[in-house]
Amino acid sequence: MASGLGNVITPIQTQVFASERSSVTLSCNFNASGFTDYLHWYRQIGQSRPEFLVLTYSTTTEAQSSHEDTRFTVNIPKGGHVDLLLSTAAVADTAVYFCALQPTVKGNPCAPYNNQTQGNN
């Protein structure tokens, strides 16, 4: 979705399915008009409010999550693309994941991921 400044961020896939203990990559494309734009990742589990996962900059190539769960990292392989990497998926990670440019989810919502983690049966 576009913000008032003309910035756009959209998920590459709107649904991602994964098995427990597998690695998961959620990706968004962005078109940012600022010199250094802030990229945010959030997740929303059930009806709870969105939980902040990580903040990085569009001009960097990677960032470690400031979230206490170290399984989340961010990769920005080339300009205009950002990945959220989850190293070991668990059923508890089933959530809606949001990628956002400043001014975050409240001011610049984007289409969420509907991540459905499935266990190995």
110 within 8 A of 51, measured Cβ to Cβ: no
Domains contained in the chain, CATH given: 8-118 (2.60.40.10)
Predicted pLDDT of residue 116: 53
Determine the pLDDT at residue 100.
86
Instruction: Provide the pLDDT for residue 21.
Output: 93
Query: What phi and psi values does residue 107 have, to the nearest 5 degrees?
Result: -100, -15
pLDDT (tens digit per residue) in 22-67: 999 999 988 866 655 778 889 999 999 998 888 877 666 666 566 6
Q: Provide the whole-model pTM.
A: 0.70
Residue among 54, 10, 56 nearest 31 (CA): 10
More confident residue, 1 or 58: 58
- Note the pLDDT tens digit of each residue in 70-93: 888 888 877 788 889 999 999 999
Q: Tell me phi and psi for residue 85, to 5 degrees.
A: -105, 130
